[in-house]
Amino acid sequence: MAGPIRYVSHDDDSGRWDGFPYREGDIVISTRSKSGTTWMQMICALLVFRSPVLPAPLSELSPWLDHTIEPVADVVARLERQRHRRFVKTHTPLDGIPLDDRATYIVVARHPLDMAVSLYHHVDNIDRARMAELTGGPVTVSEPRPSLRDWLLAWTQKETTAIEQPDSLVGVLHHVSDARHRAAVSGNVLLVHYADLLDDLEGSMRALANRLALPVPEDVWPALVEAATFTRMRARSKELTPNPLGVLKDDGKFFRVGRSGQGRAVLEPHELAAYERRVASLADPELVRWLHR
């Protein structure tokens, strides 16, 4: 049987998962960029610790294993020292990491256009010089960027592969399609939609707590749900933003809007129609209907 696919970019490498020492009950949060990663990490933290007060910054409690800004041995050693239920972040699709029956894999999906708009703005907040310093790579030169609309149009039609560009439309659909297939046949893969978290945060958190076998006292629930709202998380950006080594210019800008519908508002009706045709050529109708909420 073939092993995991290797996903490598200038600042992350799925090969860092090779030989990962899984532990019974581990939770792996696998998402595309700007699709609810930090939100799901926070929800897991709240359910694990049963308190809105966390014992450490979120990125320390739930490190990003594939990110090459820190030696993988240091990240694994920090995880090995943890005594609580572990929850690890990755942007690698599930076909790129070794899967273990002792773990639960949570894949969060978001409307691709909303994810792309958020990604466009996020790129401006990355300190490329600091990133190069940590990874040992070259400093990428910032060129004038196209407008959001022009960039989004190009993003919807880009011909590439999920391995070459995981955050492309092709990559997004691959990540979610792979997870959906696995969730249908495996009890330890859970697919969550960003829109469901927006529409019913408490219900989604309760369902997740049940799925993860993380009982929460009834009187604690209101505080946990409040702590997981976008408003409260943005107010705690210094503690919750995934920026332990200073690769982002401004922690506060990480939590930008946190709602749906941004992408569709950018495009004209005929451009949306072209996007829908493109998506229909890349994914099956049932997945398309589920994802585009």
Residues labelled as active-site residues: 91
Give the integer Cα–Cα distance in Å for 115 and 173.
Answer: 12
Read out DSSP for the chain?
---PPP-B-SSBBGGGGTT----TT-EEEEE-TTSSHHHHHHHHHHHHHSSSS-SS-HHHHS-BTTBTTS-HHHHHHHHHH--SPPEEEE-S-GGGS---TTSEEEEEE--HHHHHHHHHHHHTTB-HHHHHHHH--PPPPPPPPPPHHHHHHHHHH----TTT-TTSHHHHHHHHHHHHHHHHH-TTEEEEEHHHHHH-HHHHHHHHHHHTT----GGGHHHHHHHTSHHHHHHTHHHHSS-TTS-BS-GGGGS----S-HHHHHS-HHHHHHHHHHHHTTS-HHHHHHH--
